[in-house]
Amino acid sequence: MPGYLDILAARFPGAFTTSVFRDNQRVVIPADKAPEVLLPLLRCLKEDCGFDMLAELGGIDYLNYPNATDRYCVVYGLTNLSTGQRVFVKAFTNDPEPELPSVVELWRGANWMEREVFDMYGVKFTGHPDLRRILLPHEFAAHPLRKDYPLRGYGERHNFATVTRAES
Amino acid sequence: MALTSLLPDFLVTKLDHVASLLRKHSLWPMPFATACCGIELMATASSRYDIARFGAEAMRFSPRQCDLMIVAGRVVMKMVPVMQRIWLQMPEPKWCISMGACASSGGVFDTYAVVQGIDRFIPVDVYVPGCPPRPEQLIRAILDLQDKIQRTGTIDAREFADRSSYEGPTSLAKELSPQETIVAPGDYRTATRLRVPLN
Amino acid sequence: MPVDAIPATDEIAGADQEYLYTLNFGPQHPATHTTLRLILTLDGETVVKAVPDIGFLHSGFEKLGEDLDFNQYVTIVDRMNYISPVANEIAWHHTVEKLLGIELTPRCKYIRTILAELARISDHLLCIGAAALDLGALTAFLYAFNQREAVYNIIETASGQRFHPSFTRVGGLMADVTDEWVELIRKFIREFPKAHADISRLLNRNRIFVDRTKGIGVLSRDDAINLSCSGPIARASGVVRDLRKDEPYLAYGELAGAFKVVCAKGGDCYNRYLVRMGEMLESLNIVQAAVENLPGGPVNVDLNDKLTIPDKTATYRSIEGLIQHFELFMWNRRWETPIEEVYGANETANGELGFYVVADGTGRAWRARTRPPSFIHFAVFPDLIEGHQISDVPAILGSLNIIAAELDR
């Protein structure tokens, strides 16, 4: 067991489970514990265990996934620059009102990545300085990467005026 | 030009012929390069497949100074009002080349965000297939456009004045009824999103 | 419902903001490398605040990743960082093969390494060429594009298309390479250093270029780490991290002695330019070492593995090949994947390109998330531009190498 997992288990007993697949070490926080535990756990990893770089922040929608218990998951991939270790913290949250604490105070690079998760999934991040859509137009009304949104959309892409040759 | 209505027809056709000849050999492209096709457009403009041989190397990025808009790359919903406004800013006579599969029909991207062909929103003259099209294909498109200009060009662009009907693909734009669509994207006639949208 | 794209500027101390001028550096502009938009608040010529507005090329890549299987999605992944497409494919299949637990043949590893390094050279050439073009140096742009044509030739010989080759497959490559390909690479290795020297002579000590890039857009080491930067941008700020050395994949472990990692300390645009120039020469060393030591043998993993596409001879002439082809291509069949998820990253020219693939037992990804280096680096831009002048905007944008398709996906 890597040493930092012992530190985490001592400080946050029972708040997370761990697993390993290929060379990814995962720390999974279920939806009922995520709002209180996530930020202190990440802060502990950053300051006490040496994981100083946030490599990745992505969202996943587990609707109808085999053996899924919660719906939305946000994956935080951390890297320890001095040892090269990586750890992936997965925090879950559910409908309605999916929410997670924002980690912008720990890593400023999370700002845009959290905005993108909000844009694509609708997961709100409490404490984020500027949570608004980043990739889609502001007036877009849906969250496209959710599993119940169709690939081809609901016709938004066709909804524009046409310019003919005579207009100049 | 009022002059053309005063001159006898055989002189006007001669003037048209000369004007088209001059215009086709000095097309100034407006490179509306969005994605990968933009790189092939840049490659066409570089030394190996020199587009300057055809008079089209003056790629001015100001639409007011160009007469050929080359839409190179996929156009997404957020970009359509921008593209339309640039098209309208170009002075007559103007032509449009839709370069690549994504601009012509949506290409590989049949998704919620990419418009399935810019000819749904802008009148297009020449389509270039390919993903991305080789520079030789783009040069062929320019040559085809030169032929088209020679055949149909007029000195005062009067050939465009009557074409007020929609020329794009027929089975399309409103695939869903207005009640079913759930978003009202920005209209190119309004300003940018800094203002309150007109609902 | 007011839509305010610029947050309130009240925090600018002491100002009544009448004299501040908002300039829209719109999505269509020669110096924005394709479609990005910046809303600049200017005090005369000095940029007080820059708010980026992106998404003008958002095409729904990740939604497509849930709809296409692992071999089909490589065509889409190509179109992300369209300046070095082969690198994206290699990164994607690296992650998928990690998920499926496939070990590649040595020949395939070496060929993929060569292609990845050629893609890196081609990416840096375009970045430097376009940055120079934005600053006014047209000749460097043409020289760079000439060399890129040589790289296109090589890729075309291998796969048939200049770029977007969709060359990799799960467990191997689309086709093996020929001796002609090796000869073309040797020719490129002979001729590239001269072009590189030409570009260096044009730009390295060019008074205008140096004045416009030295001291501009300084990114400190702590900022680079906090803002998740990677690749040449982080290395130019002093973060010594390169996935090719730290987490070796493909043939980089065996070729570790052939190349060094180029770093710098200053973190300004000029340092980023120098790091990229240095990396191109190191990449050339890797290509040379790999092409001289190219192992023989098959390029695709063994047919009995049931995960690779058999070649046409086997498909048409043997029943096992036909069955395997059928099993892999028909809609209701395909691979069986573990119900697991994995993150795999490669060091591309822009930085750490990672994919987080969640599989659900079928042949399609449940989620194919891209960790886009351009997106993360563009978030750094407002910090870099504050206090500089408006003519530094193209210099900084050029040095950050923002590819709009990777930015927006």
Domains in chain B, CATH or no CATH each: 28-161+171-199 (3.40.50.12280)
Q: Across all residues in chain B, what is the average pLDDT?
A: 81
- Structural domain of C82: 61-301+334-408
Two tokens, residue B11 = 């002189």
Query: Chain C within 8 Å of B190 (Cβ-Cβ)?
Result: no
For residue B192, the model assigns a pLDDT of: 35
pLDDT cut 70: percent of chain C above it: 92
| Per-residue pLDDT, C188 | 94
Amino acid at C43: D
Residue of C nearest to A21 (CA): C342
Structure tokens at C105: 């043949």
Supply C28's token pair: 């269509």
C-alpha pair distances (Å), C129 with each of C133, C135, C230, C238, C403 = 6, 10, 21, 24, 14
| Chain A neighbors (3+ CB pairs < 8 Å) | B, C
Q: Is the predicted pLDDT of residue A137 greater than 60, yes or no?
A: yes
> What is the complex's ipTM, to 2 decimals?
0.93
The per-residue pLDDT for range C131-169, each reduced to its tens digit, is: 998 888 889 988 998 899 999 999 999 998 888 998 998
Q: Which residues contact C332 (CB under 8 A, 6 or more apart)?
A: none
pLDDT at B146: 93
Sign of the CA dihedral running B188, B191, B195, B199: negative
Kindly identify which residue of chain C lies nearest to residue A83, measuring between CA atoms: C246
Spatial CA neighbour of C94 closest among C156, C169, C196: C169
Tokens 């029972």, located at residue: A14
Instruction: Check: CB of residue C115 under 8 Å from CB of residue C186.
Output: no
Q: What is the mean pLDDT of residues B168-172?
A: 66
**What is the tally of structural domains in chain C?**
1
Joined together, the tokens standing for residue C234 give 């982080």
* A44 in Cβ contact with C338 (< 8 Å): no
Token pair for C77:
């992944």
Q: What is the pLDDT of residue B1?
A: 54
Report the half-sphere exposure of C231 (CA within 13 A, side-chain side).
Answer: 26
- Reply yes or no on whether the pLDDT at B175 is more than 80: no
The CATH number of the domain holding residue C66 is 1.10.645.10
pLDDT tens digits along A71-130? 999 999 999 988 888 999 999 998 888 889 999 999 998 999 999 999 999 999 999 988
A135 Cα to chain B: minimum distance (Å): 9
* C50 found inside a domain: no
What confidence category does residue B193 fall into, taking pLDDT thresholds of 50, 70 and 90?
A: very low
Taken in order of first residue, the domains within chain A and their CATH numbers are 3-158 (3.30.460.80)
- Asked whether A157 and B116 are in contact (CB, 8 A), the reply is yes
Which chains share 3+ C-beta pairs under 8 angstroms with C? A, B
Could you tell me where the beta strands, DSSP code E, fall in C58-195? 168-169, 172-173
- Quick check: B35 and C60 CB within 8 A? no
CB nearest B47 (choices: C24, C56, C142): C142
For residue C383, give how far its alpha carbon lies from the nearest alpha carbon of chain A (Å).
11
Q: Which two tokens stand for residue C251?
A: 């043939």
Q: Which of C4, C56, C76 sits opposite B76 (nearest CB)?
A: C56
Q: What is the pLDDT of residue C377?
A: 92
* Residue C246 within any structural domain of the chain: yes
Neighbours of chain B (3+ CB pairs under 8 A): A, C
Say whether residue C148 is in contact with chain B using an 8 A CB cutoff: yes
Nearest to C58 among A65, A81, A135 (CB): A135
Quick check: is C327 in a domain? no
The reply to whether C10 falls in a domain is: no
Please give the torsion angle defined by the CA atoms of residues C105, C109, C111 and C116, in that order, rounded to the nearest 10 degrees: 160
Instruction: Say if A61 is an interface residue toward chain C (CB within 8 Å).
Output: yes
Query: Is the Cβ pair C226, A107 closer than 8 Å?
Result: yes
User: What's the token pair of residue B115?
Assistant: 């418009």
- Is the CB of residue C269 less than 8 Å from the CB of residue C395? yes
From B188's Cα to the closest Cα of chain A, the distance in A is: 8
Question: In Å, how far is A126's CA from the nearest CA of chain B?
Answer: 25
Eight-state DSSP code of residue C263: -
Q: What is the mean pLDDT of residues C384-392?
A: 89
> Which among C62, C228, C341 is the nearest to A53, CB-wise?
C228
Q: Which residue of A has its CA nearest to B114?
A: A157
